[in-house]
Amino acid sequence: MKIALLLFASLGFAQSAMAEEPIVFTTESYPPFSYQEPGGNYRGVGIDQVDIVMKEAGAPYTLEIMPWARAITLAETQSRHCVFAAARTAEREARFKWVVPLFIDRNILVRHAGSPVTASTIEEAKRFTVGTHREDYTEGVLRSLGFPKIDLSADVDTTLRKLLGDRIDMMPMSEGVYDKLKSDGTPIEKVMLFSEQHLGIACNRDVPDALIAKMQAGLDRLIRDGVQAAILKRYGINEPQ
């Protein structure tokens, strides 16, 4: 009887320890959605929402900014990992458990300011070299649409440097990021609308359903109570109409 009680006690302790093990969030540097301030603090539209959602859920978490390809791979392959802000595409749907939307993202094609590059349709845009970063959902969209000249980089900053150095003709970019870069004086111009996606939190399949439900309920409250809209506004982003 004592052995049985000890086994039950050990099992209960293990389950308790698992419950307290933090969820590991990964994301990329993509201002104003996620970035690190000079003092080391993490900020951004997505980060602020994740912090509120996890505190309301009563679940400990850690956060690290890294290249996107690594961030999303960790979420898919490592226990108790989540990544944001990931586009909820058909190809990704079954690979993760989802909490959405942190943002409804309009993605546009942009060019270096003053560039002669122009396009008003997807077919016209296919004439040009378009850059993006590995494992971003825009890579999949470009391939599915049959873009013949796709230039891949490790991260969005590298792709932007290529654009500004005229090494690529265009790049897809969130409209909110475009507005922020323009206000900061980055010499880029909008070419055309590219796609629209729901961006959210994509979690490893082993993250408990009960926690996912708490996270979704918390995000739903943020949206319903106008907190999400206030966060977007604080970072200078207008909600898509």
Q: What is the mean pLDDT of residues 142-161?
A: 96
Q: What percent of the chain has pLDDT over 90?
A: 82
47: in domain? yes
129: in domain? yes
Q: What is the pLDDT of residue 16?
A: 43
Number of separate domains in the chain = 2
Q: What is the CATH number of the domain that holds 78?
A: 3.40.190.10
**Residue that is written with structure tokens 């980060």 in the block:** 47
Quick one: 66 and 86 in the same domain? yes
- 13-42: pLDDT as tens digits: 344 444 579 999 999 999 999 999 999 999
- 182-227: pLDDT as tens digits: 999 999 999 999 998 899 999 999 999 999 999 999 999 999 999 9
Closest Cα partner for 33 from 23, 21, 47, 22?
Answer: 47
Quick one: 185 and 203 in the same domain? no
Quick one: 192 and 204 in the same domain? no
Quick one: 203 and 90 in the same domain? yes
Using CA atoms, how far apart are residues 71 and 81, in angstroms rounded to an integer? 9
Dihedral pair phi/psi, residue 198, rounded to 5°: -85, 125
Quick one: 37 and 84 in the same domain? yes
Q: What is the pLDDT of residue 236?
A: 85
> pLDDT averaged over the chain?
91
**Which residues constitute the domain of residue 147?**
105-196
